[in-house]
Amino acid sequence: IAGAGGAAHLPGMAASLTVLPVIGVPVTTRQLRGLDSLYSIVQMPRGIPVATVAIGNAQNAGLLALQILATERPELSERLQAYRQQLQRSVLKKQQRLDELGYQQYLDTIL
């Protein structure tokens, strides 16, 4: 997992030096709010892939790395499944609260 901002060379350089998966995390920049980083990471030449997650989303980079490892480790796969089920429960709970309060009152409680 390589985070990089601006010209964002690190993920591409790492990918060019190994056959292992490389996950790039574009870092938010002042000038273009991370779009420069994102474009630099996703525009790798053919043959040097870099998996890329959303700007500033290192958490998804970690989860993607775990998913790769889980292809050979059933215990990781089970833990990832449990995590996703917990996320689903959390979203459904928020949806229920939104339905109960209405969108304006819901927004007032979270902002």
What local confidence, expressed as pLDDT, does residue 40 receive?
92
CATH class name, domain 1-72: alpha beta
Whether the per-residue pLDDT at 111 is higher than 90: the answer is: no
- The model's confidence at residue 8, banded by pLDDT at 50, 70 and 90, is confident
- The model's confidence at residue 31, banded by pLDDT at 50, 70 and 90, is confident
Name the residue with tokens 């060379």: 9
For the chain, the structural domain boundaries read 1-72, 74-111
Closest listed residue to residue 14, CA positions, set 50, 42, 43: 50
Which residues touch 63 (CB under 8 Å, ≥6 apart)? 80, 83
Closest listed residue to residue 15, CA positions, set 55, 57, 54, 43: 43
Tell me the per-residue pLDDT of 34-71, one tens digit each, with 9 for 90 and over.
Answer: 999 999 999 999 999 999 999 999 999 999 999 999 99
Tell me the per-residue pLDDT of 66-109, one tens digit each, with 9 for 90 and over.
Answer: 999 999 999 999 999 999 999 999 999 999 999 999 999 999 99
Structure tokens given for 81: 């499944």
Count the Cβ atoms, other than its own, within 10 Å of residue 4.
19
